[in-house]
Structure 1
Amino acid sequence: MGNQLFQKARETVAIATEASTGNSSVDPQKALDVAKNALTSAYANSTDAEKVQLRQMQDDLDQLQ
């Protein structure tokens, strides 16, 4: 089944990335806020390996700002 919070974080980061490039009708700032929230939620409930990936996703979001 996997970590649902981790999956949600990955999805929201992808949406935020797409929105920041203008390839989506989603508001980029709102998508970024949702992705950051999802990352925070996922981090508290993740394995060490997932945390490494979540930190990379956070770095990716930081570059979008």
Structure 2
Amino acid sequence: MANRLFQKAREAVNNVVGRMNGNGSHEQGHQMSHQPEHINAHDEAVAQNAISSAMANSSDAERAQLAELQQELDQNGDLK
């Protein structure tokens, strides 16, 4: 059975990092500009909370991947 919290954390981080790098998608069918988008504190907080929530209910392998996601989020947060 897949860990939904882990999946949500991965999606949230990919959304934030992708948008920071100009690779984000627009859900409403708008064309992608490939320009980095501004990420607000709420977007980052959602990703941080998703990682924290997933940590408690994850396997060791998932926790290692979550740590990598956290590091990726931190590194991209420094680029803002």
Q: TM-score, normalised by structure 2?
A: 0.71
Report the Cα distance in structure 2 between the residues aligned to 1:23 and 1:7, rounded to whole angstroms: 19
More helix as a share of residues = 1
2:63 aligned residue? 51
Q: Cα deviation per residue 1:24-50 (whole Å; 9 max; x = unaligned)?
A: 467512221111110000001101000
1:62 aligned residue? 74
Identity %: 46
Whichever of the two has the greater Rg, that structure is 2
Amino acid aligned to 1:12: A
Superposed CA RMSD in Å reads 1.7
Amino acid aligned to 1:46: S
1:19 aligned residue? 19
2:10 aligned residue? 10
Gaps of 5+ in 2: 27-36
Gaps of 5+ in 1: none
Is the 8 Å Cα contact of residues 19 and 31 (structure 1) preserved in structure 2? no
Count of equivalent residues: 65
SS of structure 1 residue aligned to 2:70: helix
Report the Cα distance in structure 2 between the residues aligned to 1:23 and 1:59, rounded to whole angstroms: 19
Report the Cα distance in structure 2 between the residues aligned to 1:23 and 1:49, rounded to whole angstroms: 27
